[in-house]
Amino acid sequence: MTHLDAGAGSGAARPPAAGPPAVRGLSAAEVAERVARGQVNDVPVRSSRSPGEIVRANVFTRFNAIIGLLWLVMLFVAPFQDSLFGYVILANTGIGIVQEWRAKKTLDSLAVIGEARPTVRRDGAAAEVATSEIVLDDVIEIGPGDKAVVDGVCVEADGLEIDESLLTGEADPVPKKPGDRVMSGSFVVAGGGAFQATKVGREAYAVQLAEEASRFTLVHSELRSGISTILKYVTWMMIPTAIGLVVSQLVVKQHGFKDSVARTVGGIVPMVPEGLVLLTSVAFAIGVIRLGRRQCLVQELPAIEGLARVDTVCLDKTGTLTEGGMDLTELRPLQGADETYVRKVLGALGEADPRPNASLQAIIDAFPDVEDWRCTQALPFSSARKYSGAAFSEGDGQSSTWLLGAPDVLLDADDPALAETGRLNEQGLRVLLLARTDHGLDDPGAVRGARPTALVVLEQRLRPDAADTLRYFAEEEVRAKVISGDNAVSVGAVAAKLGLNGTVVDARGLPAEREAMARALDEGTVFGRVTPRQKRDMVGALQSRGHTVAMTGDGVNDVLALKDADIGVAMGSGSEASRAVAQIVLMDNSFATLPSVVAEGRRVIGNITRVATLFLVKTVYSVLLALLVVCWQVEYPFLPRHLTMLSTLTIGIPAFFLALAPNRERARPRFVRRVMRYAIPGGVVAAAATFATYLIARHHYTGPGSLEAETSVATLTLFLISMWVLAIVARPWTWWRLTLVVSMAAAFLLVLAVPSLQRFFALKLVGLQLPWIAVGISVVAAAALEALWKWAGRRFPA
């Protein structure tokens, strides 16, 4: 038994494995000729909307068109202060454009960092180039985890196996040999080789796949689809109400045509919840910027929201709980094997693989190359097989064939070496078995009769941030499931070191039937010896039980599960294929970034739910006030300037701060129901109280200036009730939320106290009796609001 320093041994670059002469690729002149002909894979893949699309999306909206038309009318028929709502819309739209532009720059910069750089062979030398620099007939080298970015034909193959499941839906890897077609969008799961590009640019399917994988989008989001549903109903309510208001105000024109038009517009404008969509877009965009600063690339914007709704996160051990590198700590020869000879075998195995995985790289670092051994055949590692192998012609003329892989796969169940392997696994160590076989590597039964020669003990490097991240998920009631292809006992020991305890399950014993598998997944916490197909099935089984599932991973064996999960999270250093299908890529490879993504999603969803209530209360009371005015055939109580001020102080400014505040509340479904259960009673109470105050004022005030006095007490009532709605929405109160509410109240008092502002906003409280009546009605309305919202919370639980 020998203890080894993982850093020992040769670290020099190794020549490629023996094989047929390499294809030299195009010359510089041939590349230039194809570039001149336009035969280049230069199809820009944008991670966000273009500047023009951003401007159009924020400017040319249905509600901007309505408000823009009303603004033009007001510019001609009313004083400047009645046109303020138009300038507010201009400012809001500008903010939306600027924030989305900032989000675009953040996304584009991260997308460039994470962009794949294929290895192209030109003039006999290999070099990395940008995907857009590939030309027709280029020879592109590929290895495990690489994605074919253009269509082509295989020219070299060394145990090359390609997964075409993203294109065909068939998960079984397809062996490739020279002359076989290589489809863009497929990825290598084992072996290596090269292919020659036959279709580039828009002719290659990879263009469509890449654009679909990294498009900046605001669709397929419960939050945004819920807001769209609300706005659709709001539009249908607005049309007949606005028509009735226009007709009634033009008939009741005791105070002149222009004043009637102004009050008509004043009744229509607040029906439009124009800031709600804008604020949602701004909240999402700022979320992208915040996460971008943490080196987190959000390839699909709703992923921020989706991860906030996740209740189960499936973690791949390697690259997530542990770092990519490993250290070889011990070598245990078996059955009297000569340790010096075993070292040579392991060194030769490392030399035989041009693209070693983390385990083999640790062996390469520990053992020197063997110059007098020649590899005659190689079998690359496959996560489905759980082993790799190579056949050698040794320096003395002898030949031998070796396998290196999982002991429980290469050995019979009663082999005594498995007992020792189990004890090592219980310590969280990874153990590989070196075994000699008499069969050929291409024989499906190569493992039969394999003779164990040595145990290679590897220590996995735990991520220093993994324990804290798992603790965060536990506190937030998000269940963590470790799903790994490694030995179950070893994976369980690693999880236990990080504080994740629970039932450890060997996935080879899992039932294939979905319902039975789902029950086993509910009971277990750590699952080992999971095949790539099983990972996908396990995600589907969890989803069948109503769970929202996130899957993390970095290897090619994770791609199918990442694709099917509700949210796929890939590591930036992971395989190109895993990054292509994931919605979120952690560019700094830090598992500790995930809590930030969850928190950002919760902040967006929770806060938009809050501010949506504010906007929709205004819409409800505006529609009801208009209907009451039409039924009573009276002047509309407000001018646009009054409602602009009310909206700014009770909705606009507070909503901006509330939408960007921290919020750890767990995201819940049924957004529309949760918002409307409060918006409807709030709007009804506000409209009823305000109109009652207005009718009382109409009977109390007479003579010149009576309409301004009536409007003033109605404005006071509506402001006080709206402030109470804001105070309820802002709960639980903190110092800054209380400061926000008090500041808005102080601003309104300033308007009432300063003569110039009184004149500007046409607000002047006359006498003491009616203002105190307005305050009394507002107090009663606030009490009614409290009672109704508590009842709504019990009657329509979220």
Which pLDDT belongs to residue 87?
A: 79
For residue 12, pLDDT over 50 is answered with no
Judged by average pLDDT, the poorest of 91-100, 149-158, 414-423, 774-783 is 91-100
Q: What is the pLDDT of residues 119-138, one digit of tens each?
A: 999 988 888 888 888 999 99
Angle at 184 between CA 178 and CA 186, to 5 degrees: 80
Which pLDDT belongs to residue 357?
A: 76
The most confident of the ranges 277-281, 285-289, 749-753 is 749-753
Which pLDDT belongs to residue 518?
A: 92
pTM: 0.67
Which pLDDT belongs to residue 543?
A: 92
Q: What is the pLDDT of residues 175-218, one digit of tens each?
A: 888 999 998 878 888 888 999 999 888 777 655 544 444 443 43
Mean pLDDT, the chain, integer: 82
Give the β-pairing of 2-3 and 399-405: unpaired
For residue 767, pLDDT over 90 is answered with no
Judged by average pLDDT, the poorest of 37-46, 81-90, 158-167 is 37-46
Q: What is the pLDDT of residues 677-716, one digit of tens each?
A: 889 999 999 999 999 999 999 988 877 778 889 999 999 9
The residue ranking higher by pLDDT, 257 or 561, is: 561
Q: Identify the structural domains of the chain with CATH numbers, from first to last.
A: 2-21+322-462 (3.40.1110.10), 218-290+598-795 (1.20.1110.10), 296-321+463-589 (3.40.50.1000)
Q: What is the pLDDT of residues 786-798, one digit of tens each?
A: 999 888 877 766 5
Spatial contact of 385 and 173, defined as CB atoms under 8 Å apart: no
Q: What is the pLDDT of residues 470-503, one digit of tens each?
A: 998 888 888 999 998 888 888 888 888 888 888 9
Which pLDDT belongs to residue 244?
A: 82
Judged by average pLDDT, the poorest of 205-219, 268-282, 716-730 is 205-219
Q: Predicted confidence band at 114 (pLDDT cuts at 50, 70, 90)? A: low
Q: Predicted confidence band at 6 (pLDDT cuts at 50, 70, 90)? A: very low
Which pLDDT belongs to residue 103?
A: 72
329 burial class (0-12, 13-18, 19+ CB within 10 angstroms)?
middle
Contacts of 241 (CB under 8 A, 6+ apart): 271, 623, 626, 627, 630
Cα 399 to Cα 369, 380, 392, 442, 461, distances in angstroms:
17, 19, 6, 16, 36
Q: Predicted confidence band at 736 (pLDDT cuts at 50, 70, 90)? A: very high
DSSP H/E element including 593: none
Which pLDDT belongs to residue 49?
A: 67
Spatial contact of 329 and 606, defined as CB atoms under 8 Å apart: no
Active-site residue list? 316
Which pLDDT belongs to residue 15?
A: 36
Q: What is the pLDDT of residues 384-410, one digit of tens each?
A: 788 889 999 887 778 889 999 889 888
User: Per 3-state DSSP, what percentage of the chain is helix, strand, and coil (rounded to 5)?
Assistant: 55, 15, 30
Which pLDDT belongs to residue 212?
A: 46
Q: What is the pLDDT of residues 29-43, one digit of tens each?
A: 999 999 998 888 876
For residue 250, pLDDT over 50 is answered with yes
Q: How many CA atoms lie within 13 A of 460 on its CB side?
A: 28
The residue ranking higher by pLDDT, 351 or 577, is: 351
Q: Predicted confidence band at 21 (pLDDT cuts at 50, 70, 90)? A: very low
Spatial contact of 547 and 555, defined as CB atoms under 8 Å apart: no
Which pLDDT belongs to residue 219?
A: 36
Q: Predicted confidence band at 719 (pLDDT cuts at 50, 70, 90)? A: very high
Which pLDDT belongs to residue 737?
A: 92
Spatial contact of 464 and 590, defined as CB atoms under 8 Å apart: no
Q: Predicted confidence band at 168 (pLDDT cuts at 50, 70, 90)? A: low
Angle at 173 between CA 170 and CA 174, to 5 degrees: 100
H helical segments located in 701-761: 706-729, 735-753, 755-761
Q: Predicted confidence band at 621 (pLDDT cuts at 50, 70, 90)? A: very high
Q: Predicted confidence band at 5 (pLDDT cuts at 50, 70, 90)? A: very low
φ, ψ (nearest 5 deg) of residue 82: -80, -5
For residue 574, pLDDT over 90 is answered with no
Which pLDDT belongs to residue 64?
A: 80
Rg (CA), the chain: 34
Which pLDDT belongs to residue 520?
A: 92
